[in-house]
Chains A and B, each alone.
Chain A
Amino acid sequence: MSESQAVSKADSETVLVSEQLSQSYGSVSVLSEVSVTIDSGSLTAVVGPNGSGKTTLLKTLAGLLSPAEGAVQYLGPDAEREIGYLPQRPSFRPQFSTLETLEFYTALVDDDPEELLSRVGLRDAADRRVEALSGGMTRLLGLAQATVGNPPVVVLDEPGSGLDPTMRKRTFEVAHELANDGTAVICSSHDLALVEQWADHVIVLDGGSVVDTGSPAELCRAHGAESLWEVFDVTIEKPDDQVAVLGVDDE
């Protein structure tokens, strides 16, 4: 661990708390009594099978969904933009260049668009139209957008989804750098190897509930597992060869 990391970890404080969070879509319960604590300067990964409620949890933490029950509390410092958000499939107006896109967002909250592009490695694509960007570059642009105004909390919904291994790794590196700078980063992911490598804290979600939580090392130790994948394997209920669908009970 580098010195800066050690400093940021020591200074970390709770910036976001959810208490007994429940969420439902109609009669389908998507989240059930989820309580999580997010600290500054840490990268928290939310893992779980498809349909386990990851996106709903992240949207609720970002303040985009009002919980049916429970509450989300922002405890971080005063900021013009408290929480940054990267949607699962970020998309921008195709007629604009990457720089113009960030210039628009930085007109809403003061920041330097060129510096933001440099941070995610898109400086050389500044003049390229969004419609001409690859999926990975679009996601990196989304990552830059999520950090506009230097929000104390950044929520990333599957930042590496659908990307090649190099791009996937790059998104985690950027998230890790943000955490090192003191930002509380929460991201969902299916890439357990990258989560194990970069995350400080892991929340395992299944069927809308938190089934386990801790650092990757703590989780492995608690389950006598050698990798996060093994932890995932023993903590997640697998009905059979069918996809788990929330709201549908097994007979």
Chain B
Amino acid sequence: MSNKIQAIAAREVVSVIRARSTLALLMGVVLVTFGIVFVSNAEPDYLPTAVDLLLPMEFLVPAVAVALGYRTIISDSTRGELDVLATYPLSVSRYIIGVFIGRAIALTVLLTVPLVIIGIYLATTSPDAPTFLATHQGVDSPLIFVRFIGLTVIFGLVVLAMTIAASALASTQRSALVLGLVVLALVVIGLDLLILRGVAGGTVADGWLTTVLSVSPTSAYRGLVFETVLSTAVQTDLQQASPIMSTVGLLLWLIGSLAVATVAVSRR
């Protein structure tokens, strides 16, 4: 990573750490995740916990990513800092990458810390905590939960990139908030509803469903969790999603969003 990208990323990390809202955001994530785990009647095992957390994470992760990213670019713009930065030998793409990396680090910490604590809790309370990692189907293990955490973070990073693009497209703080909420609505329910409508209307053929599902970041995330986390322990002949297409879908959303953000800032 170049020194300039590092400088931009470090500034983002410090900004998040020093923002008054960050602690509230962390407390919110801790309360929701811990609440789900402790209120749930499921056994304190990795697999049931991942199943319990999956649906709430489909809303919580985008909400945290949007909260963390919607003001990023627009704040620099309204402060006049984009004009100032344009006089430095710093390309717009490096600026966007730096901003993304900085916020991504913050988001990763915000999502990982509570989930790792839950993982430690499960490791110490699980009735049949294994002392080995699962390499075969049908075994519940810490690796399942680690995979779940990893996929959750990746999902968050994709939504963060989409939010940064929305922030770059916005012209005011207010429109940035509105566009951030549009991203949230699209990710949480909008794209899934479009796919559902396509299936119901016959536009999407049954054979294409697993591929089309990868177009929605949430469906792609859900599909990856089903295929790489839950299927490890629960054998089923039914394929929930295409892991490759889901990964490609998430990757395209991430790269595409950062490209949109770069173009939007260049045209300001």
Contacts and interface: CB of A to CB of B under 8 A. Distances in A.
A and B assemble together: yes
Interface of A: 59, 62-64, 80-81, 83-85, 87-93, 95-96, 100, 104-105, 107-109, 145, 148-149, 151
A59 B161 CA distance: 30
Interface of B: 3-4, 6-7, 11, 14-15, 18-19, 79-81, 83-90
Contacts of A62: 87
A80 B87 contact: no
B80 A108 contact: no
B212 to A, nearest CB: 42
Contacts of B15: 93, 95-96
Interface residue SS majority, chain A? loop
A85 B14 CA distance: 25
Contact of B80 (A83, A89, A104, A151): A89
B81 A91 contact: yes
A87 B80 contact: yes
25 contacts: A62-B87, A63-B86, A64-B83, A81-B88, A85-B84, A85-B87, A87-B80, A90-B80, A90-B84, A91-B80, A93-B79, A95-B15, A95-B18, A96-B11, A96-B14, A96-B15, A96-B18, A100-B14, A104-B11, A107-B4, A107-B6, A107-B7, A108-B4, A145-B84, A151-B87
Given A108-B88, A151-B87, 19 more contacts: A80-B89, A81-B87, A81-B88, A81-B89, A83-B87, A84-B87, A85-B87, A89-B80, A91-B80, A93-B81, A95-B15, A95-B19, A96-B11, A96-B15, A104-B11, A107-B3, A107-B4, A109-B88, A109-B89
A105 B88 contact: yes
Contact of B87 (A63, A92, A95, A104): A63
Contacts of A148: 88
Given A107-B3, A108-B7, A59 B89 contact: no
Which 10 A-B pairs have CB atoms at the shortest separation, nearest pair first?
A: A107-B7, A95-B18, A91-B79, A87-B80, A108-B88, A85-B87, A64-B83, A104-B11, A80-B89, A83-B87
A90 B81 CA distance: 8
Nearest to A96: B14
Contacts of A151: 87
A159 B205 CA distance: 64
A19 B30 CA distance: 60
A105 B83 CA distance: 13
Nearest to B82: A64
Contacts of B79: 91-93
Nearest to A85: B87
Nearest to B78: A91
A20 to B, nearest CB: 24
Contacts of A90: 80, 84
A55 to B, nearest CB: 11
B73 to A, nearest CB: 13
A88 B80 CA distance: 9
B83 A85 contact: yes
